[in-house]
Amino acid sequence: MTPPRLELRRISKQYPGVKANDAVSLSVAPGEIHAVLGENGAGKSTLMKIIAGAVQADAGELLWDGAPRAPRSPAQARALGISMVYQHFSLFDSLTAAQNIWLGLDKAMTLDAVRARVRTLSAEYGLPLDPERPVHALSVGERQRVEILRALMTAPRLLILDEPTSVLTPQAVEALFVTLRRLADQGCAILYISHKLDEIRALCHRCTVLRAGRVTGEVDPRQESNASLSRLMIGAEPPRLAARAVRGHAPARLRVSGLSLAPETPHGTALADIALALRRGEILGLAGVSGNGQQELLRVLSGEDRRAERGVVTWIADDPSTDPSTDPSNAPSNDASNDPSNSRVAAGAVNRITDLGPLGPAKRRALGLHHVPEERLGRGAVPSMSLAQNTLLTRREPVGRLGHVSTAKAAALARRLIERFGVRAAGPQAAARSLSGGNLQKFIMGREIDAAPKALVVAQPTWGVDVGAAAQIRAELLALRDAGCALLVVSEELDELFELSDRLVVMARGRLSPAIPVGQASVAQIGQWMSGLWDVAAGEGAHAEA
């Protein structure tokens, strides 16, 4: 009989305060797509890094084609034919996509040949990518494509994918699955880590389940339901979200009117006549293929890009006596009340309108506008800083009036976030980079949700988190909405947007579609709009306000 391509026998790995892997055994055969399933912090990523030579096991044995051959470095793993797509990207921001891919290959290919090969593979596998674009100008979804294409360029004998579809659109996921099945048919063994149970059931032949670093079962996922896989993974089914009440037309909290901007970089996306309103007590979902202007729009809303003309991005302050008929956000666009230098007086009440254009992120947070960026490490959190120190990036509670930082208050805040959002970490002093991707995502999301914002702009809210944590985060977002917060949720997962949103918009080529109530939308329609093919007659086209 043909031996397994890879066999692990009682692999163990201990870190300070946690045993990441505890006598884990599994095998994957040539041509097999084998899922590794587990909640955040279950030890999946550590196990994959051991296979890829990036981490050394404390105990156990690794067999390759039936012979003991544990790689001692990533270079040795690549020589065997092992290629891994990491959950946290390992890319150089200052280099182009092609240069990053070239660095991971032997130098038998020239850089020009790599560029040509990238163009061919990206077209063949439905993963569009400009090889000349610098990585710092790419969205998270586009960076994921770089990692996947780099792995495919090596013609791997074992391909390890750690949450490869977290920031890919449904169309890109389908194209990736075609690619993976083709690779398996050619004899490549594939280890596939994902928290998306539907994907595992549709794609994988076998599934090994980890909990707290130990194997709790091995099943054929095609014979399982989402509920049974969830029970194996977290010991219970994820809680269902409460049904939403139908909400009426609410006053706006934040308004964008006629935003047009040239790209900041040569490879960026220009924004064209963007109009939207974030309404109090409502979630506006934004769908679209990565790289169509979402990143540029979020930079404008967060205050990182302050090039918008005066009065284009405005904030409407609280006024308890205001109703939709007197809110300035519902006035005609030529009404003087929309001038941020004015205050509107209606029924004896004053609505203050603030021009957000010149305000930076800190001043916007002081008004109540918080932001969760799509990049976890580097923007959402500083990798080398502790969780307690990372709270100071957006929270001012531990900072006194004279700028003195209370380390005790910062640690207490971090501890509260860890407990409230079930973050698996050694404690408030644990470095951000020591957390698994899903646990870091829970911490960053928790930091902004816990601030009780008046408006929250969030990208990829459940990127890389397990089904239980995803349900908790979504429930927290809905609770914010019900408390009157205005939310913009940008996600590559259409199912998530349909589950959370009150209204949906689509971004394509720097333009924004009309908004549509989620009850009137379909996946097919939103997928069509992702190509920019929305009905101009319905909602007055791209000029209609979202």
Tokens encoding 112 = 């020009």
The answer to whether 44 touches 27, Cβ cutoff 8 Å, is no
Query: Can you give the C-alpha Rg of the chain in angstroms?
Result: 24
Measured distance CA(233)–CA(227) in Å, rounded: 10
Q: Which residues contact 17 (CB under 8 A, 6 or more apart)?
A: 426
Beta bridge partners of 27: 7
Q: Distances in Å between the alpha carbon of 450 and those of 186, 421, 433, 490?
A: 49, 10, 22, 19
What amino acid occupies position 155?
A: A
The answer to whether 169 touches 492, Cβ cutoff 8 Å, is yes
Q: Label the pairing between strands 313-316 and 271-279.
A: unpaired
Per-residue DSSP letter, 293: S
Could you list the pLDDT tens digit for every one of the 546 residues in the chain? 789 999 999 999 998 878 899 999 999 999 999 999 988 888 998 999 999 999 999 999 999 999 999 999 998 999 999 999 887 778 898 899 999 999 878 778 899 999 999 999 888 877 888 999 999 888 777 888 899 899 988 889 999 998 888 767 777 788 889 889 989 999 999 999 988 888 999 999 999 999 889 999 999 999 999 888 888 887 777 666 665 665 567 899 999 999 999 998 877 899 999 999 999 999 999 998 878 899 999 999 999 999 999 999 999 997 644 433 334 433 333 333 333 333 333 333 345 899 999 999 999 999 999 999 988 888 899 999 999 999 999 999 999 888 899 999 999 999 999 999 999 898 999 999 988 888 899 999 999 999 999 999 999 998 878 888 888 899 999 999 999 999 999 998 888 899 999 999 999 999 999 999 999 998 888 888 988 878 543 443 334 466
Helices (H) and strands (E) in the chain, counts: 16, 22
Exposed/middle/buried for residue 143 (C-beta within 10 Å: 0-12, 13-18, 19+): buried
Per-residue DSSP letter, 157: S
Instruction: Kindly report the pTM of this predicted structure.
Output: 0.71
User: Going from the N-terminus, what domains does the chain have, and what CATH number goes with each?
Assistant: 6-234 (3.40.50.300), 252-377+456-543 (3.40.50.300)
Residue 151: closest CA among 164, 137, 168, 169: 164
Residue 465: closest CA among 487, 483, 445, 492: 445
